[in-house]
Amino acid sequence: NAGVTQTPKFQVLKTGQSMTLQCAQDMNHNSMYWYRQDPGMGLRLIYYSASEGTTDKGEVPNGYNVSRLNKREFSLRLESAAPSQTSVYFCASSEAHGTAFLGYTFGSGTRLTVV
Amino acid sequence: TQLLEQSPQFLSIQEGENLTVYCNSSSVFSSLQWYRQEPGEGPVLLVTVVTGGEVKKLKRLTFQFGDARKDSSLHITAAQPGDTGLYLCGVRAYSGAGSYQLTFGKGTKLSVIP
């Protein structure tokens, strides 16, 4: 089925370890996003990529880096994980045609625990 | 200050009851979207409303965009356990280079008890 695929689904890290969350979409969307979801805080944008070759910071970028590897793939890297980065991470993609915004397609999430 | 305020935060009802959840703001929006997120999954788009006063129906779900395009409501008739989930409203902002970002409310967590 077409959509957004995230790997891994679950991960436990020790403080200070690094890891990369992978995201791939097969809908030929130009824009891709990384959000984190925390209880009581809702979905907050970490980074986004308007198109291949561009990335920009969102609301909560500190402690993260991203790479738009090609049109399909957008990865999120934690260089030195901290307990405050324990969260559920969602990747999403979207396409806009003129004034018609077609909404986001989300992946199923990566549940990350930093101990 | 939260751009979008959703209420109530939590709602627990019996199967068959009706309910309404709200998404409010002091800002005017060109469009607003509703998503439903089931436990362990990502949000899924339900509807986009664009015109002030617009009403859209999706089976037992009725969505309304306020006349001033500052608020929206979601009404569910005869709720079923399958309606359980987190309901999120989101509005988009143009961030340049043809890209739009969505800003979300914190959501209403609905539990429908059989």
Rounded to the nearest integer, the mean pLDDT of chain B is 92
Q: What are phi and psi of B109, to 5 degrees?
A: -95, 115
Whether A100 shows a pLDDT value over 70: the answer reads no
CA distance B43 to B104: 11
* Inter-chain residue contact B48 with A103, CB threshold 8 Å: yes
Whether A5 shows a pLDDT value over 90: the answer reads yes
Whether A65 shows a pLDDT value over 80: the answer reads yes
pLDDT single digits (tens) B76-109: 999 999 999 999 999 987 766 666 688 999 999 9
Confirm if B57 and B43 have CB atoms less than 8 A apart.
Answer: no
The reported pLDDT for the residue numbered B92 is 84
Residue in A31, A42, A105 closest to B104 by CB: A42
The reported pLDDT for the residue numbered A44 is 94
Whether A115 shows a pLDDT value over 90: the answer reads yes
> What is the count of residue pairs from A and B with beta carbons less than 8 Å apart?
67
CA distance A15 to B51: 48
Contacts of A95 in chain B (CB under 8 A): none
Confirm if B88 and B34 have CB atoms less than 8 A apart.
Answer: yes
The span from the first CA to the last CA of chain A, in angstroms, equals: 35
Chain A residues within 8 A (CB-CB) of chain B?
Answer: 4, 30-31, 33, 40-43, 45, 48-51, 54, 56, 58, 90, 92, 94, 96, 101, 103-109
* Inter-chain residue contact A43 with B44, CB threshold 8 Å: no
Distances (CA, A) of A59 to A32, A45, B69, B104, B112: 15, 5, 24, 12, 33
Q: How confident is the model at residue A33 (pLDDT cuts 50, 70, 90)?
A: very high
Q: Is the torsion defined by CA of B44, A82, B100, B98 positive or negative?
A: negative
Is B85 touching A (CB cutoff 8 A)? Answer: no
The reported pLDDT for the residue numbered B20 is 98
Tokens (6 digits) for A3: 């959509």
The reported pLDDT for the residue numbered A97 is 59
* Inter-chain residue contact B43 with A104, CB threshold 8 Å: yes
Least confident residue range of A8-12, A23-27, A83-87, B97-101:
B97-101
The reported pLDDT for the residue numbered A24 is 97
User: For the purposes of burial, counting CB atoms within 10 Å of the CB of B13, is it exposed (0-12), middle (13-18) or buried (19 or more)?
Assistant: middle
The reported pLDDT for the residue numbered A71 is 94
Question: CA torsion, points A81, A17, A74, A45, in degrees to nearest 10?
Answer: 0
The reported pLDDT for the residue numbered B98 is 63
- % residues pLDDT > 70 (chain B): 94
